[in-house]
């Protein structure tokens, strides 16, 4: 628990400091950068760090210290005593009978060939025709064929992940985010679910409260709960979390209302394409929220799996087709800046993942934070996940670094977000056509994989009877009506950060008259008659998305007894 003085000693909110950028890395700058940074080690399980791959951080301040946030468990972690002996390995001629690393002659994998797309021909069909085969041998390093091979990748590694892939993600992070403090580092993870588990144990103790969106990624809330960490959900609007609401909650924090829990110290947020609401925070929103975090000394866990799935705005079904950005710079500057890129204090841990942009089965991602936090994070990985699969790491390295390079990877991301934009547009066009606007509102998602329906329930037929249904009952009715018609959606209540118990009691106020809301789509937010559904456009085919939305529209109309389609008679 942080002593109260830790909060009191923070300065008042001030404008975000914009550092003088003297060595901002670009895609084209990577080759000359690599001439200046450390060579990749050729040995087994070599120690490494982002620091040896970063450019000059001259002029940037150092991150603040977070000693008061680090849990007892994390504080007590010590470097592995066995790994300490590795420093003697540099001695020429030394023979090690120390570490129990198996000899590579007993790894029964001689060679791995992987067929991947050749940029910009990314589709499955094009890959079949024009794809590149990356060849990965067991002794490529010794044979001078590559800087990474199976002899290294199939053996034990360090808890930072391999130097080869770490260099790539460090450069990528610098190209995309260029954190404005000097002592940032990245480290590979076995995916963001694992990274979050580690972060929760690093920053929280039993009885703590985690700030998050009112509707939040349920796995995060459910991961925190058994650790004795409850979520405090902050009200949201169509840009996600509302900073003024968070400020109000923190300024008036009363432990007595939260079973004695002290004022929260950590915010978990998904700023782009938030799961489940699909909301994306604008740059202004992010600046405002960062200031509130400075004011109350809040540390930020920025979970950003969907960052590169930011889309061009939805302009209706008849709009002209989207035009891809003309350069990597145009693409990168079209993305809303991350918290990491605004983080002058070093108060952000950013969680990146290959799951949504390469493949979930890689079980590989990375986190970026200040040296102090990353060091604790590595200590945790040493005694748990160790590092991502070496097979995943070497395939990602061969693909992203040796085959595509940073430019090819950005081309892939540009292509990918075009596909997701097309999928979103199919879903939104189907919504315009099939979803009854009498009871439903939505905001077009600007990023990610999810669309969020707001259902206004006060015109539900049961409200005309003496036993009106509760919000949770109506939600269930719609959900099951969807299933009966052949569409599976996700119920909003599953995502309520503080749980859905209160929805069991709430009955929405009765609408003045059936059909009134059709003429007044501006519904009073104080009505509290809203329930929500999440639909993903990531998985099903375009045709199936359209069919599924039509079915969901039918489910809504049958639940509410609506006989017109979208305000028009059917």
3-state secondary structure 209-238: EEEEECECCHHHHHHHHHHCCEEEEECEEC
What's the Rg (C-alpha) of the chain? 26
Q: Which one of 3, 4, 59, 102 is in contact with its own copies (CB under 8 A)?
A: 102
Q: Is 74 buried (19+), middle (13-18) or exposed (0-12) by CB count in 10 A?
A: buried
Residues 333-362 close enough to bind its own copies by CB under 8 A: 355-356, 358-362
Sign of the Cα torsion 258, 264, 270, 272 reads positive
Least Cα distance to 537 among 410, 430, 415 occurs for: 430
Measure Cα distances from 64 to 22, 31, 348 in Å: 22, 32, 11
Write each residue from 231 to 260 as x if it is in contact with its own copies (CB under 8 A), else as -, in one continuous string: ------------------------------
Helix (H) or strand (E) segment spanning residue 441: strand 440-441
Residues 391-420 close enough to bind its own copies by CB under 8 A: 391-393, 395, 399, 412, 416, 419
Residues 43-72 close enough to bind its own copies by CB under 8 A: 72
d(CA 475, CA 356): 29
Considering the rule CB under 8 A, would residue 1 count as an interface residue with its own copies? no
Q: Which one of 476, 538, 558, 564 is in contact with its own copies (CB under 8 A)?
A: 538
Looking at beta carbons only, is 15 or 124 nearer to its own copies?
124
Looking at beta carbons only, is 243 or 408 nearer to its own copies?
408
- Beta carbon of residue 558, minimum distance to its own copies (angstroms, whole number): 17
Q: Which one of 28, 56, 96, 563 is in contact with its own copies (CB under 8 A)?
A: 96
d(CA 355, CA 352): 9
Q: Which one of 489, 517, 559, 566 is in contact with its own copies (CB under 8 A)?
A: 489
Q: Which one of 146, 280, 387, 458 is in contact with its own copies (CB under 8 A)?
A: 387
3-state secondary structure 498-561: CCCHHHHCCCCCCCCCCCHHHHCCCCCHHHCCEEEEEEECCCCCHHHHHHHHHHHHHHHHHHHC
Q: Is the peptide bond before 117 cis (omega within 30 degrees of 0)?
A: no
Write each residue from 262 to 281 as x if it is in contact with its own copies (CB under 8 A), else as -, in one continuous string: -------------x------
* Range in contact with its own copies (rule: CB under 8 A) among 16-24, 174-182, 261-269, 479-487: 479-487
Looking at beta carbons only, is 96 or 334 nearer to its own copies?
96
First to last CA, the chain: 60
353: which strand partners?
365
Looking at beta carbons only, is 344 or 550 nearer to its own copies?
550
d(CA 381, CA 387): 7
Looking at beta carbons only, is 44 or 518 nearer to its own copies?
44
Considering the rule CB under 8 A, would residue 441 count as an interface residue with its own copies? no
Looking at beta carbons only, is 185 or 275 nearer to its own copies?
275
Q: Which one of 230, 424, 434, 551 is in contact with its own copies (CB under 8 A)?
A: 551
- Beta carbon of residue 155, minimum distance to its own copies (angstroms, whole number): 6
State whether residue 334 is helix, strand or coil.
helix
- Beta carbon of residue 301, minimum distance to its own copies (angstroms, whole number): 15
Looking at beta carbons only, is 123 or 501 nearer to its own copies?
123
d(CA 328, CA 356): 20
Count of CB atoms situated within 10 Å of the CB of 487: 21
Looking at beta carbons only, is 178 or 274 nearer to its own copies?
274
Residues 194-223 close enough to bind its own copies by CB under 8 A: 194, 197, 218-219, 222-223
Q: Which one of 54, 138, 285, 347 is in contact with its own copies (CB under 8 A)?
A: 138
Looking at beta carbons only, is 113 or 522 nearer to its own copies?
113
Residues 417-436 close enough to bind its own copies by CB under 8 A: 419
- Beta carbon of residue 278, minimum distance to its own copies (angstroms, whole number): 11
Considering the rule CB under 8 A, would residue 516 count as an interface residue with its own copies? no
Considering the rule CB under 8 A, would residue 292 count as an interface residue with its own copies? no
- Beta carbon of residue 221, minimum distance to its own copies (angstroms, whole number): 9
Looking at beta carbons only, is 6 or 112 nearer to its own copies?
112
Measure Cα distances from 51 to 54, 167, 483 in Å: 5, 9, 52
Place of tokens 């018609």: 485
- Beta carbon of residue 325, minimum distance to its own copies (angstroms, whole number): 19
Helix (H) or strand (E) segment spanning residue 564: strand 564-565
Q: Which one of 50, 57, 185, 190 is in contact with its own copies (CB under 8 A)?
A: 190
Q: Which one of 111, 315, 464, 504 is in contact with its own copies (CB under 8 A)?
A: 111
Looking at beta carbons only, is 25 or 531 nearer to its own copies?
531
Q: Which one of 5, 32, 81, 254 is in contact with its own copies (CB under 8 A)?
A: 81
Looking at beta carbons only, is 81 or 254 nearer to its own copies?
81
- Contact predicate 267/240, CB 8 Å: no
Considering the rule CB under 8 A, would residue 444 count as an interface residue with its own copies? no
- Contact predicate 491/453, CB 8 Å: no
d(CA 565, CA 557): 8
- DSSP secondary-structure letter at 393? H
Measure Cα distances from 251 to 49, 404, 499 in Å: 39, 49, 23
- Beta carbon of residue 324, minimum distance to its own copies (angstroms, whole number): 16
Residues 144-173 close enough to bind its own copies by CB under 8 A: 150, 153-157
């Amino acid at each position: 628990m942080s002593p109260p003085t830790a909060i009191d000693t923070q300065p008042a909110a001030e404008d975000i400091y914009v550092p003088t950028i003297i060595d901002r890395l670009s895609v084209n700058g990577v080759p000359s950068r690599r001439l200046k940074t450390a060579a990749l080690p050729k040995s087994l399980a070599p120690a490494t760090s982002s620091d040896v791959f970063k450019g000059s951080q001259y002029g940037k301040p150092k991150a603040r210290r977070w000693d008061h946030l680090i849990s007892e468990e994390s504080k007590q972690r010590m470097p592995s005593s066995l790994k300490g002996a590795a420093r003697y390995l540099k001695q020429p001629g030394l023979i090690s009978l120390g570490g129990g690393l198996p000899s590579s002659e007993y790894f029964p994998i001689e060679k791995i060939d992987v067929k991947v797309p050749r940029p910009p021909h990314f589709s499955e069909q094009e890959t079949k025709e024009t794809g590149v085969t990356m060849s990965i041998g067991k002794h490529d390093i010794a044979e001078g064929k590559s800087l990474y091979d199976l002899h290294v990748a199939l053996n034990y590694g360090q808890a930072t992940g391999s130097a080869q892939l770490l260099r790539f993600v460090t450069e990528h992070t610098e190209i995309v985010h260029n954190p404005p403090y000097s002592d940032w580092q990245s480290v590979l993870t076995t995916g963001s679910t694992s990274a979050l588990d580690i972060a929760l144990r690093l920053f929280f103790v039993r009885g703590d409260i985690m700030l998050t969106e009112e509707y939040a990624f349920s796995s995060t809330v459910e991961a925190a709960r058994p650790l004795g960490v409850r979520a405090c959900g902050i009200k949201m609007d169509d840009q996600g979390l509302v900073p003024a609401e968070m400020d109000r909650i923190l300024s008036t924090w009363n432990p007595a209302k939260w079973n004695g829990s002290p004022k929260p110290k950590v915010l978990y947020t998904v700023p782009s394409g938030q799961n489940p609401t699909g909301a994306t925070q604008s740059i202004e929103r992010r600046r405002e929220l960062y200031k509130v975090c400075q004011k109350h000394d809040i540390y930020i866990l920025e979970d950003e799996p969907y960052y590169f799935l930011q889309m061009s705005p939805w302009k209706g079904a008849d709009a002209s087709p989207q035009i891809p950005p003309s350069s990597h710079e145009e693409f990168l500057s079209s993305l809303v800046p991350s918290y990491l890129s605004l983080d002058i204090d070093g108060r952000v841990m950013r969680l990146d993942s290959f799951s949504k942009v390469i493949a979930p089965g890689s079980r590989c991602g990375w986190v970026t934070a200040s040296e102090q936090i990353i060091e604790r994070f590595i200590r945790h990985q040493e005694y748990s996940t160790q590092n991502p699969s070496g097979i995943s790491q070497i395939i990602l390295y061969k693909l992203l670094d040796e085959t595509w390079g940073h430019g090819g990877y950005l081309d892939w991301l540009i292509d990918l977000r075009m596909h997701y934009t097309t999928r979103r547009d199919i879903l939104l066009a189907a919504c315009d056509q099939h979803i009854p606007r009498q009871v439903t509102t939505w905001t077009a998602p600007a990023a990610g994989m999810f669309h969020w329906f707001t259902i206004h329930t006060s015109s539900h037929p049961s409200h005309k009877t003496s036993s009106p249904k509760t919000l949770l009952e109506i939600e269930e009715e719609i959900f099951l009506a969807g299933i009966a018609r052949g569409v599976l959606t996700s119920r909003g209540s599953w995502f309520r950060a503080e749980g859905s118990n209160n929805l069991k009691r709430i009955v929405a106020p009765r609408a003045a008259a059936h059909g009134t809301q059709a003429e007044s789509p501006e519904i009073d937010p104080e009505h509290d008659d809203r329930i929500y559904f999440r639909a993903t456009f990531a998985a099903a085919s375009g045709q199936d998305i359209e069919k599924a939305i039509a079915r969901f529209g039918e489910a809504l109309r049958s639940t509410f007894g609506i006989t017109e389609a979208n305000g028009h008679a059917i």
